[in-house]
Amino acid sequence: MTSRRRTLGLALALSVAACETPPPAQRGDAPEPSEALRPEGERGEVPAEARIADYEIDARLDDETHRITGTVRITWRNRTTRSVTTLPFHLYMNAFRAEDTAWMREARGSHRGQRQGEEGRWGYIDITRVTLLGAPQASDLEVRAGEPRELRWAEDEDPSTMTVTLPGAIGPGESAVVELDFVTQLPEVFARTGYAGTFHMVGQWYPKLAVLDPQEGWRNHVFTLQSEFFADFGDYEVTLDVPAAMVVGATGIQVSDEPGEEGRRRLRYRAEMVHDFAWAADPDLLEVRSEWHGIRIRQLMRAEHAADADRHEAALVATLESMEARFGPYPWSTITVIHPPSDAGGAQGMEYPTLFTTSPVIQPRPWWRLLGLEERASGVFTTIHEFGHQYFQGLLASDEFREPWLDEGMNTTSNALALRDWQADDPWVVRLGGQRIDENDMTRLALTFTTSLDPVRAPADRYLELSHSYGGTVYRKTGATMLTLRNLAGAPAFDAALRAYADRWRFRHPRGDDLVAALVEGIGAAVDLGDAGPDGPVRLDVADFLDQALRGTDEVDFALTYVDNRRRIGHAGWHRDEEGALVGGDDPPPEATPIDELDDAEVEATVQVRRAGGLRMPVELEVEFSDGASERIWWDGQERYHVFAWPGRRIRRARLDPDDKLILEGHRLNNLRYAPGEAPPAGDGLSAPLTDGAEALTLALMGGMSL
């Protein structure tokens, strides 16, 4: 071997070794915050009455059996005017206990395209003891502090809920402390939670108290396929006993890390004013830390996803900036992003307070470059969406079972706005050569499928899996409704109304009516849209629009059913003069006279607009005349059709919704129409490009086969 070859060989060996060097276990040195909430000056006021249920949890993970044994002590404050004699609980993990639970009956072993694991198919939570520790302010209870009392409990008809019977009533303003021992068996990762090898995603794993509604009493929904969660705010003190090698990411901040039994650690976490607690543990997780305006950002991922960290962080920071500006300050001092490994896909894309799971960025293939294909949605859009949930419903804690649109749909709205804020005026999602698809296009495509089967304002269990209507309706149609309203009402009015809603309902449980009321109040009952010609101005009735779009299943679809130039009605025929005598008798121009041969004064441009969809709302019409001039006019869209005429003008073409404001209109092909004889040389705008593309592909196949 020559010296030169030796040097080359050494360099090659070093470069290979460098490639095989694992990435560092931690990147970035943003320290763990000392407080779970940001300083009051930055986060704003937290209403004291919002703190209702405090949880102290001590849990131990057995990473061999994937089982968690724990105790939860809950201090609950009755802030309503009702007295209660029972405490209902959610046992969410029991949704995966058997094939006949409400959740599994609908899911049939599948969730978001992921099948239930075959090895660890079932997950469950078993309550082994319930004790009333004391009710220092509950005078009716036959217990006092320091006198624990075993309580009776029973699972309800569906095992995802249970009811604890109290020995007496807890009255208004009183509180109680109960302690529950539980064993949670994690399933193989499925529907957001579970294990995959050494990775554990632990969500909805402990008994959670239901929410006491001042008017309706306890609200304790059965866990169904499309429903998520609902709980009161409170402070969490959680101790996790895990194998020493585990890297753990959890809701809130870590306040201590102490040695436990041999080979184990006891990690203590604190979260304030949250309504859930989730965590992930895996010995192979790498950590990327950063900080934004005092908020510690912590990403945990395996080496396979390490290259995605910067892209996710950019998306997260951009979304934080956007949402703080739009919906008020983010109150917590931390946010943790879990990147589930590739064999734990079912855990991707789920939100918990101050913690969410994301999905990987799709790595561009070499042939993408060949085709000019680019995308910037994979992975980062999950980060944008799941972070958005920190507001909708982490902070604005709506009932995700009763009104899933309030969190998923409003979050989708905020995601679109965040994407625009981040990408400025060019919010494309996918590009192919000179073609692009943006967020509005994605929404409209979803609207063309199954969004007219169920209304937006419906409980989660109304959306049956076989209808495939949940995603399109709850996420996309809500987003389209809100963005359409924003386009019509104007961004400043809409944004201010939404900000007022967010400010009013932070750390509370808003309902759909609260949001609608905030929008009507902020925007105004009606929005003046513009001139409708002789019929006067056209107004959008905000409440009526929202009612139709959110409670109904009608679609928005307008079509140009007639665009042409007609002979204007003149004075041919007999008419009476001032003395009452019949005069005139002129013939009209012959029927066959081409319009082109008539004087302009004898012609009128005519457009008929039809409301093909059932939803009544205004639409703007733009007409372009043959002399190059153009004019815009609004139609209120209340009737099924309307005819517009411009005497003395010749029309070239008409276009509905020229500024693309009606995001709620999924069908756009019928929005542009040329008058006969006025079609452009390029044809309809779609046939030629598609045909050219087909011809090119045919030629490529014909030549590429070496026949």
Q: Three-state SS for 613?
A: coil
Q: Which is nearer to other proteins, 222 or 664 (CB)?
A: 664
Give the residue with the Cβ less far from other proteins, 442 or 520.
442
Place of tokens 């140009």: 560
Question: What percent of the residues of the chain are helix, what percent strand, and what percent coil, each to the nearest 5?
Answer: 30, 35, 40
Is the CB of 57 or the CB of 446 nearer to other proteins?
Answer: 446
Between CA 255 and CA 238 the distance in angstroms is 10
Q: Give whichever of 3 and 706 is closer to other proteins, judged by the CB atom.
A: 706
For 143-191, give the DSSP string. --TT--EE-EEEE-SSTTEEEEEEEEEE-TT-EEEEEEEEEEEPPBSBT
End-to-end CA distance of the chain: 48
- Cβ distance to other proteins smaller for residue 263 or 628: 628
Q: What's the closest the beta carbon of residue 668 comes to other proteins, in angstroms?
A: 7
Tell me the C-alpha to C-alpha distance, in Å, between residue 475 and each of 299, 365, 447, 570, 613: 26, 30, 10, 54, 20
Min separation Cβ 488 and other proteins, Å: 21
In contact, 242 and 230? CB cutoff 8 Å:
no
Judged by beta carbon, residue 521 or residue 684, the one nearer other proteins is 684
Which of 19, 705 has the CB closer to other proteins?
A: 705
The first and second tokens of residue 390, run together, are 């920190």
CB-wise, 362 or 371, nearer to other proteins? 371
User: Measured between alpha carbons, how far is 587 from 177 in angstroms, rounded to an integer?
Assistant: 96
Neighbours of 174 (CB within 10 A): 20
Provide the 3-class DSSP secondary structure of residue 55. strand
Residue entry with tokens 């960290």: 309
Q: Which is nearer to other proteins, 45 or 426 (CB)?
A: 426
* Residues contributing to the site for other proteins (CB under 8 A): 370-373, 430, 432-437, 441, 444-445, 448-449, 560, 653, 655, 666-674, 679-680, 683-707
Contact criterion met (CB below 8 Å) for 555 and 666: yes
Strand partners, 125: 184
Q: How far is the CB of 373 from other proteins (least distance, A)?
A: 7
CB contact set of 457 (below 8 Å; sequence gap of 6+): 403, 405, 512, 550, 551
Residues in the chain: 707
Closest distance to other proteins from the beta carbon of 375 (Å): 12
Say whether 242 sits in a helix, a strand or coil: strand
Tell me how far, at minimum, the Cβ of 434 lies from other proteins, in Å.
Answer: 6
Q: How far is the CB of 654 from other proteins (least distance, A)?
A: 11
